[in-house]
Amino acid sequence: MKKLLFVVALFTVINAVAQNGKSTTADAIMHIWETEEKDGKMQILKSGENYYGKMLYGKYLLEADGKTYKKDVHNPNPALRSRLLKDYTLISNLTYKNGKWVNGKIYDFENGNTYDVDLYIKAEVMYMRVYKGIPVIGKTLKWNLVQ
């Protein structure tokens, strides 16, 4: 009986360590990121097991006065067309798998379309693959780590 309890305890400790390491790696994306052109900033946050990106700043989110946020006029949901683009969710539903954040969605406020998005990080640069259906037919955007 003591051997069985020891084995169960050992597996519990190993599992806890493995889960802790997995969480730390998956959470490595939780930072503030800036576009290569330095005209937009996004913060990656976690909700449950999924990750999402909230826009903190975007040059193209502002009206001509540079202060007032635009409205989400192209949103396919008419009820959301009057909302301001301040702090809007750019990326949603990312899940961590094999060193990448996959199966996410990215919303383009300029046309109201939603695309597929996968992310990975290399040397403090986040590579964002944006596509519709097939990753090969898409484009890769780079965002630099801010903090």
- pLDDT at residue 135, as a whole number: 87
Q: How confident is the model at residue 19 (pLDDT cuts 50, 70, 90)?
A: very low
Report the percentage of the chain scoring pLDDT > 90: 78
Average pLDDT over residues 17-27: 56
Q: How confident is the model at residue 134 (pLDDT cuts 50, 70, 90)?
A: confident
Among residues 128, 125, 137, which one has the least CA distance to residue 105? 128
Q: How confident is the model at residue 63 (pLDDT cuts 50, 70, 90)?
A: very high
Q: How far is CA 63 from CA 15, 54, 86, 97, 113, in A?
A: 51, 19, 12, 38, 21
Q: Give me the torsion for CA of 99, 27, 123, 91, rounded to 10°.
A: 90
- pLDDT at residue 13, as a whole number: 34
Average pLDDT over residues 41-59: 96
Whole-number Å distance between alpha carbons of 74 and 95: 27
- pLDDT at residue 24, as a whole number: 57
For 75, phi then psi, to 5°, come to -60, 135
- pLDDT at residue 115, as a whole number: 97
